[in-house]
């Protein structure tokens, strides 16, 4: 059985086609060993320092955001939290300490990004200013930082 990339892990009896530009000899052999993904708690603790908010500061008309394909003007707003552990909770507060948004992040080990639509929990647009974020990853640790919104 041949497998397509990304569909599942190889199993016993699967085949793989390799194209080489040198002749095979009768004693040539190739051996492949596969190892499933794993999560290292120690590495995850060290990687908490790599958590970032992108872009920071956020400008109200960021060029990299998608355009509105149905009419003129801007598309949806986005702020990305990057380098997140696989499971964590992001809480965003204004400078007065009021909770603006809570985001639960549950992803595969290969995905450490969470996208926020820049709306509060009540679905209102947030105002300009400085915001504090707190990332709480159970069993890993916590990270706190700030970002700015400029409109």
- One DSSP character per residue, the chain reads -B--TTT----TT-B-----SS---TT-------------HHHHHHHGGG-EEESSSEETT-TTSPB-SSSSSB----EEEES--SEEEEEEEETT--EEEEEEEE--TT---EEE-SB-TTSPBPPSEEEEEEEEETTTEEEEEEEEEE-
Nearest CA-CA partner of 115 in 75, 70, 78: 78
Delineate the domains of the chain, giving CATH numbers in brackets: 41-150 (2.60.40.1930)
**pTM of the full predicted structure?**
0.68
Question: What pLDDT was estimated at residue 33?
Answer: 74
How do the pLDDT tens digits run along the chain, 151 residues long?
444 445 566 677 877 777 878 887 888 877 777 776 667 777 778 888 889 998 888 887 666 666 656 655 566 778 899 988 888 999 999 999 999 999 999 987 666 889 998 888 888 888 899 999 999 998 888 999 999 988 7
16 backbone dihedrals φ, ψ, rounded to 5°? -135, 130
Question: What pLDDT was estimated at residue 2?
Answer: 47
């Amino acid at each position: 059985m041949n497998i397509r990339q990304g569909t599942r892990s190889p199993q016993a009896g699967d085949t793989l086609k390799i194209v080489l530009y040198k002749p095979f000899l009768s004693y040539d052999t190739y051996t492949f060993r596969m190892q499933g993904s794993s999560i290292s708690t120690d590495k995850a603790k060290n990687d908490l320092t790599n958590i970032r908010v992108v872009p920071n500061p956020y400008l109200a008309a960021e060029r990299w955001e998608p355009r509105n394909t149905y009419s003129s003007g801007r598309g949806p707003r986005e702020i990305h939290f990057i380098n997140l552990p696989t499971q964590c909770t992001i809480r965003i507060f204004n400078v007065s300490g009021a909770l603006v948004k809570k985001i639960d992040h549950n992803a595969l080990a290969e995905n450490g990004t969470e996208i926020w639509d820049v709306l509060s929990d009540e679905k209102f647009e947030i105002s300009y200013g400085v915001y504090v974020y707190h990332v709480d990853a159970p069993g890993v640790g916590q990270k706190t930082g700030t970002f700015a919104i400029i409109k």
